[in-house]
Chains A and B, each alone.
Chain A
Amino acid sequence: MVPFLICFPLFVALLMYVIKVNKIRNIIAYISAAVVMVAVLIMSVLWVMDGCNAILLYYETEIVDKVILSVELLLMVIVVYLCFKYKKYIISLLTIIPTLLIAYVEIWGPKRDMINHIRIDYLSILMCIIIGIIGGLIIIYAVGYMHGYHHHHIEIEDRRNYFFMLLFIFLGAMFGFVLSSSLLWIDLFWETTSICSFLLIGYTRTDEAIQNSFRALWMNLLGGTALALGIVYQIYEMNNDSLQYLVGMGSWGFSSAVIPVALIAFAALTKSAQMPFSKWLLGAMVAPTPSSALLHSATMVKAGIYILFRLAPAMTNTVTGNMISFIGGFTFFVASLIAIAQSDGKKVLAFSTISNLGLMVACAGVGESETLWAGIFLMIFHAVSKSLLFQDIGATENAMHSRDIEDMHGLLYRLPRLGAFMFIGIAGMFLAPFGMLISKWSALKACVDDNNIVMVLLIVFGSATTMFYWTKWMAKLISATNEPKIKDITKKNELISLSIHAILMILLCISFPILSKVYVVPLLKEMYGSYVTVLSMSMLYTLVIIICFIFAIPSITFGYTRKLHENKKLAYMSGINEGDNSSFTDAFGEAKKLQMSNWYFKDFIGQRKLMIPSEIFATVLLIVMLSIILGGALL
């Protein structure tokens, strides 16, 4: 099953590139996305029937190792070529050095112990499900979206075959990434996702896109370099490249594990776009929506989170753990502040992604089983709702040619379906008692128990700011309006993807206690050996009852208010209302259109004001902490 999951998308990618006829390619894309989803489900079912034990595979892989090494070299050549083509010579060093280093160690380095290269366990199955389902749906959505996209943007060269190729390679690489247990393999898939994201961001080939794509490239390659250094160090110190082994050593407190853990964790920071590496994810906005959805929700950024979750037991109560949790918490707070000042919907989503990732990173950095519980739930909820929101914003933009939140006044009445999906997505993100809140709650409790003063303060302030920007967006959606309806031009396949997402979102909200009991708690038991619940089951069930109650109120009171006879009256405007609630009589006796805007505090907490200082702060902090860790371990 495993080789199929990794190789099938790659094979389809090839097909995508070769087939030039749109219709045939689209059909193949649909079928393959469905096949991937089914394959993931079959694998999960097989694994569950096997008793949910960790399965270790591929003990002897000499030939595959060679293939992997040559692919890595090939990737290096591609990147170097592109760097030279666009005259970004320095960046090419970031791929040449680590790749050659890895190649050298693999061929001439010390003999490595035999290890299992693939490991299927709770965490990797969870990741596979997220990647498979969300990624598959995004591809289905992308087929319709890209059609409309090239219809509107005639100036951009139609390279859809190339686009879909990248999407599928991405999926394959992500499966490989989460299933591998050998760090050398992980490194290959890591580089593949970095390069895919780089190519996806540069898809439109505008100047801005190229610039942003190279920014994404160097940041991710920097992480890749740290990863390679960590691996090489581990091979020389421990004579193997097993991630499990490293984590085991780390959690037992062996000093030889300190440096690799710190370097890999640093690499994960770049991948999950934490401060000071946040800019690449913001730059990823220039790409067509499906790729931002893919980058932001299901795959790319989750790769960093995944590796941090794996390392979490090795980071408990260490300097590395402190560094990671502090950077994460700091990003959580600052990114949510900046999100308040954004009015572009996609930008709000981007900042909220960074902010939420920050919370997950912080959870992993604290490294207790309780915080990891919160982190895993955050990851699940975030994947579904962000994917939903991104696709929805893309569809909305296609319909009303704007993605500014100010233009979404009364969207629920103007584009009912898309408005409702957006509402569900946002509610799933933060509104009590839905998903996000439970995680925040549990993270807060765990940090208090852990005596982590800074984290407590950051979570407390960050959760306040998070609530602010989401709620004001929601309030905008439901505001009454007289504007006419907009023609909904959302394609059927886009709608299918959106509806499935929305249903998944609601199901998740209702079924999370069960999910926690049958899946997440065993997962943590597997990782830590034991798990103490932060929130008792009875509390979780109470929450679910409240959720149902909150879903029930609308229907009951809706019926009630429908029957209610109320006299409509006009809104008070401190002047004469023109009679339609949208304009008033001004001092010249003329009708003046009413304009209402949200609060943004652009001069107070805008991107320009906060971004650079916090980047500098985070960079300094990272350098200092890394020096302490590396110096402490080496001396």
Chain B
Amino acid sequence: MTRIIPILIYLVLAPIIGGLLDGIDRKISARMQGRIGPPLLQPFYDVKKLLHKQKISVNKSQSFLILCFCITQIFTGCLFYAGSDILFCFFILSTGATFLVFASAITSSPYSTMGASRELFQMMVYEPAVLLACVGLYLATGTFNVNEMIQKHVSAVLFLPGFFVAYVFILTIKMRKSPFDFSTSHHPHQELVKGVTTEMGATNLAIYSITEWYENVFLLGVVGIFIVNENPLSYLFAVIVILAVCFLETLIDNTCARVKWNTMLKSTWLVTLLAAGVNLMVLMLGR
């Protein structure tokens, strides 16, 4: 029973929180650019409209693959908030991400295919940092189990500053923010048009957006794991940190231009090695 309640809460609240965060992000971005920006609830309006549109697609199988993507991503979140093994969560997450790649590649549309291979490339770039974050959490707390991780005396982040930096760094890739908005972009007037989402229309795009919200809530939840400990106050602190990270992402998004693939690879792997790798070394030698 104790496991079902968090899952239900996640299922109901995650899209709402994810959508709101998206709305806040748009609002703040607009203000940074000197615009008023859309209303806070605009993401929900968008999805609602998409759901009511005529169903169109380039390839029928695409809808199926996007559904698979959606289900696996939500499933990952459920596993995570039910307090299961964190490494397991990320493995399922990457399975889900391959479904997205398939969904874009199956259309054989040029921009969509380009987005797909870029998405795949991104996965390769961020995966080491993600896995290392799990390893780091294990070293700090002695368990891979999320439920047990959050019942320690002190926050894991105290032992894992490097892992935390690396994780936040790749969060930019994972949340598709500039300078690493590499597989899809906010504006279609660019070299990759809309990347992976180029050929997604109506319902499919709506499902994609909702999945993104679920995914973001999961990813930010992992940020929370770094902070939370047995003290109830730490939850409040975790929320503050998560909001700060979100703001940081928005800020980076608005101040950086997209980089080339090799810059992304080199910088990310360098940060992963230097921050997480060194931290790993310190932890392991200190054991």
Binding site for B on A (CB under 8 A): 409-410, 431-433, 437, 441, 444-445, 448, 451, 453, 456-457, 460-461, 463-465, 467-468, 471-472, 474-476, 478-481, 539, 542, 546, 550, 553-554, 557-558, 560-562, 564-574, 581-582, 594, 596, 598-599, 604
Partner of B128, one of A461, A479, A574: A461
- The list of the 7 closest CB pairs from A to B, nearest first, reads A571-B109, A475-B105, A464-B127, A432-B95, A557-B64, A480-B108, A468-B124
Taking a contact as CB atoms under 8 Å apart, the answer to whether B60 and A567 are in contact is no
User: What are 27 A-B interface contacts by the 8 Å CB criterion?
Assistant: A433-B95, A441-B91, A445-B144, A453-B280, A461-B269, A465-B124, A467-B127, A471-B123, A475-B120, A478-B61, A480-B58, A480-B108, A542-B88, A557-B68, A562-B60, A566-B63, A567-B54, A567-B56, A569-B57, A569-B58, A571-B58, A571-B110, A571-B199, A596-B108, A598-B117, A599-B121, A604-B262
A509 to B126, CA, bound (A): 27
Neighbouring B residues of A465 by C-beta, 8 Å? 124
CB distance from B128 to the nearest CB of A (A): 5
Within 8 A of A (CB), among B59-85: 59-61, 63-64, 67-68, 71-72, 75, 85
Question: How far does the Cβ of A362 sit from chain B's closest Cβ, in whole Å?
Answer: 16
* Segment from B43-51, B132-140, B232-240 that makes contact with A: B132-140
* Interchain CA distance A574-B192 in the complex, whole Å: 10
Cβ-defined contact, B92 with A460, below 8 A: no
With A445-B144, A468-B120: A474-B102 Cβ-Cβ less than 8 Å: yes
B116 at the interface (CB under 8 A from A): yes
Contact B120 A471 (CB under 8 A): yes
Minimum CB distance partner of B98 in chain A:
A471
- State which of B67, B198, B284 has its C-beta within 8 Å of the C-beta of A453: B284
A456 touches B280 (CB 8 A): yes
Are A479 and B55 CB-contacts (below 8 A) given A453-B280, A467-B124?
no
Please indicate the chain A residues that have their CB under 8 angstroms from the CB of B20 in the complex.
none
Interface residues of B in 173-215 (CB under 8 A from A): 193, 198-199, 201
- In this complex, the member of A441, A463, A471, A558 whose beta carbon has the largest number of chain B beta carbons within 10 angstroms is A471
Q: Which residues does chain B contribute within 8 Å of A581, judged by CB atoms? A: 58, 108-109
Out of B85, B131, B132, B199, name the residue touching A572 (CB < 8 Å).
B199
Separation of A121 and B113 alpha carbons in the complex (Å)? 50
Point out the residues of chain A lying under 8 angstroms from B285, CB to CB.
Answer: 453
* Cβ of B225 under 8 Å from chain A: no
Majority SS of interface residues in chain A?
Answer: helix
Which residues of chain B are near A480, meaning CB under 8 Å? Answer: 58-59, 106-108
Closest to B87 in A: A441
- Asked if A570 meets B58 with Cβ closer than 8 Å, knowing A479-B108, A554-B64, A581-B109, the reply is yes
- B223-262 interface (Cβ within 8 A of A): 262
Whether, in the assembled complex, B23 has its beta carbon less than 8 Å from a beta carbon of chain A, the answer is no
**Total of A-B residue pairs, C-beta within 8 Å:** 172
Instruction: Identify the closest chain A residue to B125 (Cβ).
Output: A464
- Indicate whether B277 reaches chain A with its CB closer than 8 angstroms: yes
* Per-position binary interface string of chain B over residues 93-104, scored 1 when its CB falls under 8 Å from any chain A CB and 0 otherwise: 011001001100
Closest A residue to B132 by beta carbon equals: A460
Contacts of B201 in A (CB 8 A): 569
Tell me whether B55 and A596 are in contact (CB under 8 A): no
Please determine whether A479 and B106 come into contact, CB atoms closer than 8 angstroms. yes
Choose from B64, B127, B280 the contact partner of A558 (Cβ within 8 Å): B64
Interface residues of B (CB under 8 A from A): 54-61, 63-64, 67-68, 71-72, 75, 85, 87-88, 91-92, 94-95, 98, 101-102, 105-113, 116-117, 120-121, 123-125, 127-128, 131-132, 135, 138-139, 144, 193, 198-199, 201, 262, 269, 273, 277, 280-281, 284-285, 287
- Contact partner, A475, options B116, B262, B280, Cβ 8 Å: B116
Contacts of B116 in A (CB 8 A): 475
| CA–CA, A572 and B125, complex, Å | 28
Give me 18 other A-B pairs in contact (C-beta within 8 A), A448-B135, A472-B120, A572-B109 excluded.
A448-B139, A451-B284, A457-B277, A464-B128, A467-B123, A468-B124, A479-B105, A479-B106, A480-B108, A542-B88, A546-B75, A546-B92, A553-B64, A561-B64, A572-B199, A581-B109, A598-B117, A599-B121
CA distance A448 to B143 in the complex (A): 11
**Contact between chains at B60 and A566 (CB < 8 Å):** yes
In the complex with contacts A468-B121, A475-B102, A410-B108 CB distance below 8 A:
yes
A467 close to B111 (CB less than 8 A): no
Q: Is the CB of A564 within 8 A of B60?
A: yes
Contact indicator B68/A553 (Cβ below 8 Å) = yes
Tell me the bound Cα distance from A564 to B131 in angstroms. 39
Contacts of A562 in B (CB 8 A): 60
The listed residue with most A CB atoms (<10 A of its CB), out of B56, B68, B105, B287, is B105
- Docked complex Cα distance between A412 and B203 (Å): 26
Q: How far is the CB of A464 from chain B (nearest CB, A)?
A: 4
User: Which of B55, B95, B287 has its CB near the most chain A CB atoms (within 10 A)?
Assistant: B95
A453→B279 CA distance, assembly (Å): 11
Q: CA–CA, A596 to B64, complex, Å?
A: 23
Closest Cβ of chain A: how far from B102's Cβ, in Å?
6
Contacts of B273 in A (CB 8 A): 457
| B54 contacts across to A, CB distance below 8 A | 567
| Beta-carbon nearest neighbor of A478 in chain B | B106
Chain A CB within 10 Å, residue with most, of B54, B75, B135: B135
Q: How far is the CA of A422 from the CA of B109 in the complex (A)?
A: 23
Q: A431-B98, A561-B60 are in contact. Are A571 and B121 (CB under 8 A)?
A: no
Q: Across the interface, do B123 and A464 meet the contact criterion of CB distance under 8 Å? A: yes
| Cβ–Cβ contact B63 & A571, under 8 A | no
- CB closest chain-B residue, reference A432: B95
Supposing A471-B101, A478-B102, A571-B108 touch, asked if A460 and B135 sit within 8 A by C-beta, the answer is yes
